[in-house]
Structure 1
């Protein structure tokens, strides 16, 4: 079972994953020139993602024999930024494990974690890394679900790294970019540089009145941009992209008016070929499956 790190052996992967609440998606990409063609796509509303549901979804999408990627539900894991311990590479995991034991609300022996190094640019005073942690029981349950479906789960991924794969296609050489995705009661803001995750911030919109969502998101983005400028001042920022969403006009307007950096709507049609799937040409659907699309790009990440 592979975790977050990309390898040169990630070939032929497809995504089959459940979303919270109430939907599951199966999709597979093929590279077609400069774009990624969506070769298979099935999206269903499902009350519970049972083994039977996943199996039927895989059959409908023609992915029964494919090695699969699943995304962890955002509430099941944490993404923690840490100062990188000054230790030899072969001692890094042990040193991080020691740090994490006081940061988790469950025992470190019950945790699964992986590390992502954060690029800092030539002027960075400190080096950082991300520790992505999840209770081992949650991973075991996910693996068991796919095994019960008779499916080959090859990779477990998270929204932050899936979003990184899309953002990497937007970076001008030598510049970092921000990418903001908002859907339902969640937002995710990432900053990437040279295809690597520099900063990730979740935006919790649960309980926020609809007419206050844009204001709340803009405030969180402003704080994150300020933090990025202070901590990663050696990385010049190109612009912020706003991912497709069902009704994003007000949010785009407020971002454009209140941020000091350029803001641009992300046209996923510049990255993906949706011509065979009319539903995927709708911004609302693109928002719903945004991270599944990013996870499916894993095979070509860094290329």
Structure 2
């Protein structure tokens, strides 16, 4: 999403990065034919990395990733994901039409907005027009982030957002028609993606701490599952996949099992992705979004 023009060079495989206050999570992918393999996964512990780019650059150099093309995953508050009805215009005019459709929903002027979109399946909203999700970000913020990537010796390739990065992992887990709820847990903003036949039908952000508001998290997931069945008209959700891998039977996992009529699983990336770096629980929890973004299909628009 929010792709940038690629430069012609001899860059290495795709690297993905996600910034937090404590550091930068990075993951890189190498290709062997059609097989994608994680060649590097690391969390670079640098306090306030946006203002300490030299320290991050040194870590990137140590990992041998300098010069690589990079997908940067934005964090909560740095973008908006908006559900809108698709304008009836030719495809080449769609982005411009969408920009005007969301102009009253975004927090900056249309001149400062960068947008992209993901189309939903034809049956996503019965009785309504064709729907899609628009991703919008402030051009000024994006330019600052790409300049930061260049300062740490990575080449900006694209900007991603968590809801869509998660699809790179979830699509292969949701190949049946029966609904699957993907629950990505983060203390700042958790995400619910409702999926069927490897397609996204509904995405919701939970802007609160899931560990301190367990009842709310369970209720919001229940409401999403009910909406998926009653309003979208899909088969009942039979499985809930929790990401990243949880440590033991957490209070939230127990509440999900006790209150929702679905099989609750916690995903271990080591079971579904080949990696040269051992995917410990700590690495999975710190680097999940960067791993997901690194696995993007480069042929996707």
User: Is contact 2:183-2:193 (8 Å) kept?
Assistant: yes
For the aligned residue pairs, the C-alpha RMSD in angstroms reads 2.9
Alignment partner of 2:284: what SS?
helix
Higher mean C-alpha deviation, range 247-256 or range 289-298: 247-256
- In structure 2, the residue matched to 1:290 is 288
Aligned residues: 292
How far apart, CA to CA, are the structure 1 residues paired with 2:150 and 2:23?
20
User: Is contact 2:26-2:43 (8 Å) kept?
Assistant: yes
Unaligned runs of 5+ in 2: none
Give the 3 Å change call, closer, same or farther, for CA 172–253 of structure 1 in structure 2: same
User: Is contact 1:14-1:26 (8 Å) kept?
Assistant: no
| CA deviation after TM superposition for structure 1 residue 176, in Å | 4.1
- In structure 2, the residue matched to 1:245 is 246
- In structure 1, the residue matched to 2:280 is 281
| CA deviation after TM superposition for structure 1 residue 151, in Å | 2.2
User: Is contact 1:40-1:62 (8 Å) kept?
Assistant: no
- In structure 2, the residue matched to 1:221 is 221
- In structure 2, the residue matched to 1:136 is 139
| CA deviation after TM superposition for structure 1 residue 123, in Å | 7.9
Task: Choose from 188, 191, 194 the match for 1:188.
Answer: 191
How far apart, CA to CA, are the structure 1 residues paired with 2:125 and 2:100?
28
Higher mean C-alpha deviation, range 130-139 or range 25-34: 25-34
| CA deviation after TM superposition for structure 1 residue 32, in Å | 7.4
Higher helix share: 1
| CA deviation after TM superposition for structure 1 residue 202, in Å | 1.1
- In structure 1, the residue matched to 2:41 is 41
Moved over 6 A (4+): 32-35
How far apart, CA to CA, are the structure 2 residues paired with 1:185 and 1:122?
28
- In structure 1, the residue matched to 2:20 is 20
- In structure 2, the residue matched to 1:101 is 103
| CA deviation after TM superposition for structure 1 residue 12, in Å | 5.5
Query: Pairwise mapping of residues 128-277 of structure 1 onto structure 2 (< 5 A)?
Result: 128-206=131-209, 210=211, 212-234=212-234, 237-243=237-243, 244-246=245-247, 249-274=250-275, 276-277=276-277
Alignment partner of 1:161: what SS?
helix
Give the 3 Å change call, closer, same or farther, for CA 122–214 of structure 1 in structure 2: closer
User: Is contact 1:182-1:245 (8 Å) kept?
Assistant: no
How far apart, CA to CA, are the structure 2 residues paired with 1:143 and 1:264?
36
Give the 3 Å change call, closer, same or farther, for CA 145–122 of structure 1 in structure 2: closer
| CA deviation after TM superposition for structure 1 residue 89, in Å | 2.3
| CA deviation after TM superposition for structure 1 residue 201, in Å | 1.1
Give the 3 Å change call, closer, same or farther, for CA 12–217 of structure 1 in structure 2: farther
User: Is contact 1:13-1:28 (8 Å) kept?
Assistant: yes
How far apart, CA to CA, are the structure 2 residues paired with 1:240 and 1:161?
18
Task: Choose from 83, 86, 90 the match for 1:84.
Answer: 86
Report Cα offsets for 1:130-150 as digits up to 9, x if no partner: 010011101110111122333
Unaligned runs of 5+ in 1: none
Task: Give the TM-score normalised by the residue count of structure 1.
Answer: 0.84
| CA deviation after TM superposition for structure 1 residue 175, in Å | 4.1
User: Is contact 1:111-1:134 (8 Å) kept?
Assistant: yes
